[in-house]
Amino acid sequence: IDGQRVLYQEGALAGISRPEQLIEAYTQGAGMASPSLMFCGTLGAIGGVRPGSRFEMALEDPVLGRRLNHGYDVEALPVIS
């Protein structure tokens, strides 16, 4: 953000709500019709949701000592209204 690397999200998989919990909360117990699609939760953004020019992430497995890295550049599109 503004040319600086800033921690955006951090936490364990256990910190993300389970899909069943999200569906229950969203449908108030009615369940989802088939076919349906729900994009599930994520960890909260540290400092709030904001744009950046690049996003880099890592998933770590502390038990097996493995790490998966990924990154991509972001091009903000103009606001058209």
Checking if the pLDDT of 32 tops 90, the result is no
pLDDT at residue 74 in the model: 92
CA 11 – CA 13 distance, rounded (Å): 7
Alpha carbon dihedral 43, 45, 9, 41, in 10-degree steps, equals: 20
Given a cut of 90, is residue 40 above it in pLDDT?
no
Task: Provide CB contacts within 8 A for 17, sequence distance 6+.
Answer: 40, 41
* pLDDT surpasses 90 at 64: yes
The average pLDDT across 57-73 equals 95
